Amino acid sequence: MKVRLQRLYAALMRHTGRMDYTPLLLIWATAVFYSVFCFLLDLDPIGASNYNTYTLQALAWRSGQISLGRDYPHLELAVFNNDWFVSFPPVPSIPLYFLTFLFGAATPDHLLVKLYLLTGVLACYYMLRRAKYDKVSACAFALFCSAASCLLTLTTDGAVWYQAQTLAFALTMCALALMYSGHPTPALLLYALSVGCRPFNVFYALPLFALFILRAHRQGQPFKTIALRLLPGVLLGLCVAGGYAWYNYARFGNPLEFGHNYLPEFSTQGGIQFSLSHLSRNIRTFLFGAPFSDSLAGSQLNIFGFSMFFSCPVFFALIVWVIEDLIRRRFSLIKLSILLAFAIQLFCLLLHRTFGGYQFGARYTCDLLPYTALYLALPGRCRRMRLPEWLLFIAAFGFSLFGAATILL
């Protein structure tokens, strides 16, 4: 008996020695960081947000309603047939639906956005470790593709806009990690749910399918086998899309309308939500705009946006990686699919009238961060973070920390 226990203990020690404790360290570091950060800025790290649109939607669902029944003047609500509706896609209300049974209207909105960011970071770390990055580099790149950007600002408040973007980030990053690991069904389900947070995330379909199909084909799988492996996930995704269409039709009589066009600023005040007329202004601001401008009071942060390359410096690194791949002839169809989807989604975002409004940097470009993580995971790169990337990462995180402390709702 004693010998058996000794063998069991030895096996347990060997298994424990092989375990990767970095995710636990990331969780601990995140908890410490937000505890200190919120304490210094006198922020509530876990409580309810004043911009609790998704919680109100969840409470309406519990009462059997799809409209809110009355106006909340401080929220962005769609007005249709003399009733008030949530003007955002519905998926972020799903976790809040269950949380209302525990917390009522006081759901932990501020905590959720932090958990969504952490989930995306862990998924990115998992994908990069699968891609053979060392632990330190995988951890640093996971943060470079997430917290070292204006995404960090979105975790200071669990407001409706921030919940949608952080949850979309988490779902998309998990979908990419699962597809990279060869699990298409859950990957496509999570991808479909991410579209129910941020509709333009639909363009992630291109790299997701390219990643799975091209890799499976290189492994010698016939296209019939590939199609059969994709079929359950595709059907689940179509069911989710059908749910969105039904929900939109039930509210607005249009399966493609989730409510933003019925905001007063677009329906009665003459504003145009998406238009080519917004493109040149947004390009000047969100591609080439400087973070600071001079005024009588001195240099001031541009609180209505500036270049995405300053607010998300990993995009600048992405340009360098692409140039390196082209020069060294290691570009591929999967990498092309990433860049093509990235460009199409960015173009669509640049057509929006506000691009996020009051913000640090270019808030909408947070939707593009998972593309950079997938590009890193593909073959042809050094599997460690190099010195210039370390320097850019540290500078990016410092600037993002400044932005998170400066731009508060």
In a domain, residue 72? The reply is: yes
Each residue of 153-163: pLDDT tens digit?
A: 999 999 999 99
pTM above threshold 0.85: yes
User: Which residues are 293's β-sheet partners?
Assistant: 300
Q: Is residue 8 part of a domain?
A: no
Query: Does residue 2 sit within a domain?
Result: no
| pLDDT at residue 271, rounded to an integer | 73
The answer to the question of residue 15 being in a domain is no
pLDDT of residue 259: 85
Residue 378 has which token pair?
């593909």
Mean pLDDT of the chain: 93
Cβ neighbourhood burial of 71 (10 Å; 0-12, 13-18, 19+) = exposed
**pLDDT value of residue 298:** 76
Q: What is the 3-state secondary structure (H, E, C) of 217-271?
A: HHCCCCHHHHHHHHHHHHHHHHHHHHHHHHHHHHHHCCCCCCCHHHCHHHHCCCC
Condensed to tens digits (0 to 9), the pLDDT of residues 9-42 reads 455 445 555 678 999 999 999 999 999 999 999 9
What are 319-372's pLDDT values in tens digits? 999 999 999 999 999 999 999 999 999 999 999 988 988 899 999 999 999 999
Domain, as residue range, for 402: 21-406
Q: What pLDDT, on the 0 to 100 scale, is given for residue 387?
A: 96
- Domains of the chain: total: 1
- Taking only the tens place, the pLDDT of each residue in 175-192 is 999 999 999 999 999 999
| 291 within domain boundaries | yes
DSSP result, 82-145:
TEEEE-S-STTHHHHHHHHHHHTT---HHHHHHHHHHHHHHHHHHHHHHTT--HHHHHHHHHHT
- Distance in angstroms (rounded) separating the CA atoms of residues 228 and 223: 9
Query: Does 12 reside within a domain?
Result: no
In this predicted model, what pLDDT tens digit does every residue of 167-177 receive, in sequence order? 999 999 999 99
Asked if the structure places residue 135 within a domain, the reply is yes
For residue 5, being part of any structural domain is answered with no
